[in-house]
């Protein structure tokens, strides 16, 4: 587990690498090209593509691009932070512990069972607009910047979804989020 400070450094490295690769695509471009442009510049990979350590430092594992927190990585117990610190981040950059509990980034690839392969554009738009899973379920947790992304136009969100659906599906069942330590748990369990 790494500190938030370290993660900011990682995120900057990842963001910089994708920012260099992004080809501008105007709003009226082919939806896949437009979606790829937005995904590459809006920081989606920063959290949804797992990092791996290399001799050059942490780098996104593009063989698992946008597939979310690896199901094979059990983060175990999360560290208790001293006062003045808000969150802890797993070294893959895909799991976050804070006052909301532990959140794991989603598999955005079109795998039908573990990703968003069965979703429609409406499901995706509803999710981003409402900040609720599938537009109707539990609230999407930090650090997903819903309050920023909900301002995308329907056209841009549709382009993002179209691009995500064009990716190779990655089978990866992301764990469910964990509640805060002091939160109520299900009755009878």
Residues that bind another protein (CB under 8 A): 101, 113, 118-120, 122-123, 126, 129-130, 132-139, 141, 175-179, 183-189
What CA–CA distance (Å, rounded) separates 155 from 124? 12
Find, among 130, 122, 117, 127, the residue nearest to 171 by Cα: 117
**Which is nearer to another protein, 43 or 101 (by Cβ)?**
101
- Cβ at position 176, least distance to another protein in Å: 5
Rounded to the nearest 10 degrees, how much is the dihedral formed by the CA atoms of 85, 90, 10, 8? -20
Q: Which is closer to another protein, CB of 88 or CB of 114?
A: 114
With respect to another protein, which residue has the nearer C-beta, 82 or 188?
A: 188
Given a contact cutoff of 8 angstroms between Cβ atoms, the answer to whether 45 and 68 are in contact is: no
Give min distance, CB of 126 to another protein, in A. 6
CA distance 74 to 87: 18
Nearer to another protein, 61 or 126 (CB): 126
Residue 161 and residue 124: Cα distance in Å, rounded? 7
CB of 91 to another protein, least distance (A): 23
Least distance (Å) from another protein to the CB of residue 99? Answer: 13
């Amino acid at each position: 587990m790494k500190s938030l400070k370290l993660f900011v450094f990682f995120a900057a490295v990842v963001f910089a690498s994708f920012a260099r690769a992004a080809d501008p695509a105007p709003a009226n471009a082919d939806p896949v090209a437009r979606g790829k442009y937005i995904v590459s510049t809006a920081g989606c990979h920063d959290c949804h593509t797992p990092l791996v350590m290399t001799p050059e430092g942490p780098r996104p594992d593009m063989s698992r691009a946008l597939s979310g927190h690896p199901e094979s990585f059990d983060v175990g117990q999360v560290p208790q932070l001293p006062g003045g610190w808000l969150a802890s981040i797993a070294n893959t950059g895909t799991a976050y512990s804070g006052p909301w509990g532990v959140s794991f980034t989603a598999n955005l690839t079109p795998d039908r069972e573990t990703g968003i392969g069965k979703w429609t554009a409406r499901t995706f738009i509803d999710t981003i607009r409402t900040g609720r899973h599938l537009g109707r379920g539990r609230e999407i947790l930090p650090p997903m910047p819903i309050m920023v992304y909900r301002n995308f136009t329907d056209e841009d969100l549709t382009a993002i979804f179209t691009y995500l659906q064009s990716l190779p599906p990655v089978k990866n069942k992301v764990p469910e989020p964990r509640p805060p330590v002091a939160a109520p748990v299900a009755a009878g369990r």
